[in-house]
């Protein structure tokens, strides 16, 4: 045994002790050390000044560099393949669609307005035919005009899921439900425009023929995946590295995971575009690997805003709320965070056991676990997000979650347990993603409050990136006994179809990548969705959405936690800032301007 090192070892231990002690003191100091320079008068418009309203529109000047920062790169910058909300929002810089979301704050931002087209669709044939005429002066970045064939080709790319996977496929499902078209890469016709559902009688006209009406079709055409793509510039799976621009900016450079730079597209003409203002000369994104670092750089003023728009991290949030409140907005994100009960795991096949969960849970505690009323959101009381037409917000609260039962109602929960035939409670498991600390915290909250009514929940953490095969597979859920699944969901476009169809419709129960975790098979709900698709009147659509929401809540399949809110940062230098429901409460990127272009 070599004992030569004995004394050395002890020295090491003591030295380590000194180092740790030093670290601890510095850590402790870091807590309150930088409180002194709070409340700087820097010209920021104030807390919530850009939430659902426009802040400092007139201060926006032409020119300068708008600087985004993000910990996350887009899934793809290819207009066909992107599915992240911030990518859809950002893509308006370099892509245009027939119609797009209005560049207005709040609810109006979710309405569609003509972009490449001269007006909204002329709908005929009982909602089965949509006709658009293209504007004059619309051009690609090389100066050639954008034609109706380019639009058709861009939309056809959605069919090529084998090469261009990842994006939303609504257009494909609505225009070609029988899956007859093979996509442009397998198209036998010479011009690769073989899709029969879209006609292009001339370069200025495009006609869509729907086999069945769908009242949200125009919303789908406003998605980024309906952007035009020019055939000779289509680099297929590599298109996302350098999309060919139809908007006011074009790609200068892109290093995935590092940075992205857009510069002005000199061929784009302001008078051809009723939507985009194009204030800055240059737009950059810098990607970070550490969220705390990113938040610190935002607060320091090195960047203008977070690209991902998912709110500051707990650390940066605390600093920002205490010292720079005037730079923050607190929008509703459009997401609902919830737990859902898998009916293929006993005893959740019984509605009374599900209701016992709803009554037993402490909703205030769940809200605190999500981040509290400001950073987390208002207590969720039903399953329709506030940004979706037909939602009633907290006014519809069938289980008193934000009212009389908000701290949990043990008596009522026990009554329901009795009705369920489990008067002494039961055991089950909560499945929760291990990469979401906040979701684990909500699971712990459910565990603690439901223990009081005799429901014993075990928390199972699984690899969040594998969710499609872990909780997305009903047979795996049954095998593992995951009675409670914690998840969140936001609308692809603000309508009950864009939000609830994959969650609640019986056709969407899948063997993998399932999102109807509760396995809802309700003929009434399916029927209401069918009614919705043929209802073309907005008020009628909203009414059906409300009814669907009521049916879902009456079934007690979901325990909503919060109508999610974020705390988002905007720099002092940003002007014409506003949040929009069109992009789930994010700032509307496309019309952001700078007050001082030289900064």
Partner 1 sequence: MTAPLHEPTAEAAPSAAEEAAVAGAEAKAVQGRSLGRIAWERLKRDKLALSGGIVVLLLIVVAILAPLITSLYGQDPNEFHEDLIDPLFGTPTGSLGGMSGEHWLGVEPVNGRDIFARIVHGARISLLVGFLSAIVAVIIGTVLGVLAGFFGGWVDALISRVMDGLLAFPQLLFIIALVSVMPDSMLGLSGTGVRLLMMILVIGFFGWPYIGRVVRGQTLSMREREYVEAARSLGAGRFYILFKELLPNLVAPIIVYTTMMIPTNILTEAALSFLGVGVKPPTSSWGQMLSSAIDYYKSDPMYMVIPGVAIFITVLAFNLFGDGVRDALDPKGSR
Binding residues for partner 1 (CB under 8 A) = 1-4, 6-7, 9-10, 13, 16-17, 20, 24, 27-28, 30-31, 313-315, 317-319, 321, 362, 364-365, 367-369, 371-375, 434, 437, 440-441, 443-445, 447-449, 458-461, 463, 480
Rg value, the chain, Cα = 26
Structure tokens at 102: 């209005």
Give 415 or 444: the residue with its C-beta nearer to partner 1.
444
**Do the beta carbons of residue 366 and residue 443 sit within 8 Å?**
no
Helices (H), 189-306: 217-221, 291-299
| SS3 label, residue 446 | helix
Task: Name the residue among 324, 360, 327 with its Cα closest to residue 341.
Answer: 360
**Calculated CA dihedral for residues 4, 10, 16, 20, nearest 10 degrees:** 170
**Do the beta carbons of residue 359 and residue 407 sit within 8 Å?**
no
**Residue 357 C-beta: closest distance to partner 1, Å:** 17
- Sequence-separated (6 or more) residues with CB below 8 Å from residue 480: 429, 431, 460
Give 266 or 315: the residue with its C-beta nearer to partner 1.
315
Q: How many CB atoms lie within 10 A of CB 260?
A: 23
As a whole number of angstroms, the distance between CA 217 and CA 384 comes to 20
Give 31 or 257: the residue with its C-beta nearer to partner 1.
31
Which stretch of DSSP H or E encloses residue 254? strand 249-255
**Residue 166 C-beta: closest distance to partner 1, Å:** 26
Give 10 or 209: the residue with its C-beta nearer to partner 1.
10
**Do the beta carbons of residue 234 and residue 183 sit within 8 Å?**
no
Give 314 or 540: the residue with its C-beta nearer to partner 1.
314
Task: Name the residue among 556, 523, 559, 552 with its Cα closest to residue 419.
Answer: 556
Give 375 or 592: the residue with its C-beta nearer to partner 1.
375
**Residue 31 C-beta: closest distance to partner 1, Å:** 4
Give 59 or 374: the residue with its C-beta nearer to partner 1.
374
Structure tokens at 526: 């399916």
**Residue 441 C-beta: closest distance to partner 1, Å:** 5
**Residue 372 C-beta: closest distance to partner 1, Å:** 4
- 338 - beta bridge partners? 487, 560
As a whole number of angstroms, the distance between CA 353 and CA 414 comes to 10
Local structure of residue 225 (DSSP, 8 states): G
**Residue 349 C-beta: closest distance to partner 1, Å:** 21
Listing DSSP states for 106-121 in one string gives BGGGGSEEESSBSSS-
**Residue 286 C-beta: closest distance to partner 1, Å:** 23
| SS3 label, residue 568 | strand
As a whole number of angstroms, the distance between CA 522 and CA 254 comes to 47
Give 463 or 511: the residue with its C-beta nearer to partner 1.
463
Give 13 or 539: the residue with its C-beta nearer to partner 1.
13
**Residue 9 C-beta: closest distance to partner 1, Å:** 6
Structure tokens at 253: 């450079």
Give 169 or 319: the residue with its C-beta nearer to partner 1.
319
**Residue 448 C-beta: closest distance to partner 1, Å:** 5
As a whole number of angstroms, the distance between CA 376 and CA 333 comes to 10
**Residue 321 C-beta: closest distance to partner 1, Å:** 7
**Residue 243 C-beta: closest distance to partner 1, Å:** 36
Give 284 or 442: the residue with its C-beta nearer to partner 1.
442
Placement of tokens 């887009």 in the chain: 74
């Amino acid at each position: 045994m070599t004992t030569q090192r004995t004394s050395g070892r002890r020295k090491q231990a003591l030295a380590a002790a000194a180092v740790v002690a030093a670290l601890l003191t510095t850590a402790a100091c870091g807590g309150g050390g930088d409180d002194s320079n709070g409340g700087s008068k820097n010209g920021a418009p104030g807390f919530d000044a850009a939430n659902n309203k426009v802040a400092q529109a007139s201060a926006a000047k032409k020119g300068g560099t708008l600087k985004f920062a993000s910990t996350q790169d887009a899934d793809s910058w290819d207009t066909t393949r992107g599915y992240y909300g911030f990518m859809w929002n950002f893509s308006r810089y370099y892509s245009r669609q027939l119609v797009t979301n209005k560049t207005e704050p709040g609810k109006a931002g979710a309405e569609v307005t003509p972009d490449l087209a001269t007006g909204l669709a002329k709908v005929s044939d009982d909602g089965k035919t949509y006709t658009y005429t293209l504007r004059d002066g619309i051009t690609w970045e090389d100066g050639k005009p954008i034609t109706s064939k380019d639009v058709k080709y861009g939309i056809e790319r959605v069919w090529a899921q084998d090469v261009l996977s990842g994006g939303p496929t609504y257009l494909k499902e609505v225009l070609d439900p029988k899956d007859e078209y093979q996509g442009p890469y397998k198209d036998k016709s010479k011009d690769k425009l073989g899709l029969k559902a879209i006609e292009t009688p001339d370069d200025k006209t495009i006609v869509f023929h729907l086999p069945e009406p769908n009242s949200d079709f125009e919303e789908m055409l406003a998605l980024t995946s309906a952007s035009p793509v020019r055939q000779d510039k289509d680099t297929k799976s590599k298109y996302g590295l350098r999309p060919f621009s139809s908007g006011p900016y074009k790609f200068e450079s892109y290093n995935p995971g590092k940075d992205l730079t857009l510069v002005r597209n000199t061929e784009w003409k302001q008078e051809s575009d009723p939507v985009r203002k194009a204030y800055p000369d240059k737009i950059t994104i810098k990607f970070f690997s550490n969220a705390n670092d990113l938040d610190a750089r935002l607060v320091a003023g090195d960047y203008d805003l977070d690209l991902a728009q998912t709110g500051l991290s707990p650390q940066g949030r605390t600093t920002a709320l205490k010292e720079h409140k005037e730079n923050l907005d607190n929008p509703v994100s459009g997401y609902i965070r919830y737990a859902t009960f898998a009916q293929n795991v006993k005893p959740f096949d019984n509605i009374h056991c599900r209701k016992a969960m709803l009554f037993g849970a402490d909703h205030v505690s769940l809200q605190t676990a999500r981040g509290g009323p400001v950073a987390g959101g208002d207590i969720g009381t039903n399953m329709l997000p506030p940004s979706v037409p037909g939602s009633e917000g907290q006014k519809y609260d069938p289980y008193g979650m934000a009212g009389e039962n908000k701290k949990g109602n043990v008596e009522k929960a026990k009554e329901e347990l009795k009705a369920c035939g489990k008067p002494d409670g039961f055991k089950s498991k909560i499945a929760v993603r291990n990469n979401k600390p906040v979701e684990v915290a909500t699971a712990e909250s459910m565990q603690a409050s439901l223990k009081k009514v005799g429901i014993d929940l075990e928390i199972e953490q699984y690899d969040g990136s594998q969710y499609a095969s872990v909780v997305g597979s009903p047979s795996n859920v049954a095998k593992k006994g995951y009675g409670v699944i914690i998840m969140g969901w936001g609308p692809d476009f603000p309508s009950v179809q864009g939000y609830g169809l994959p969650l609640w419709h019986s056709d969407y129960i899948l063997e993998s990548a399932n999102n109807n975790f509760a396995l809802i098979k309700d003929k009434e709900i399916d029927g209401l969705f069918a009614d919705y698709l043929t209802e073309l009147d907005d008020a009628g659509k909203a009414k059906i959405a409300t009814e669907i929401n009521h049916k879902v809540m009456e079934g007690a399949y979901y325990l909503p936690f919060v109508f999610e809110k974020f705390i988002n940062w905007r720099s002092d230098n940003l002007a014409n800032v506003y949040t929009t429901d069109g992009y789930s409460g994010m700032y509307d990127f496309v019309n952001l301007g700078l007050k001082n272009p030289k900064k």
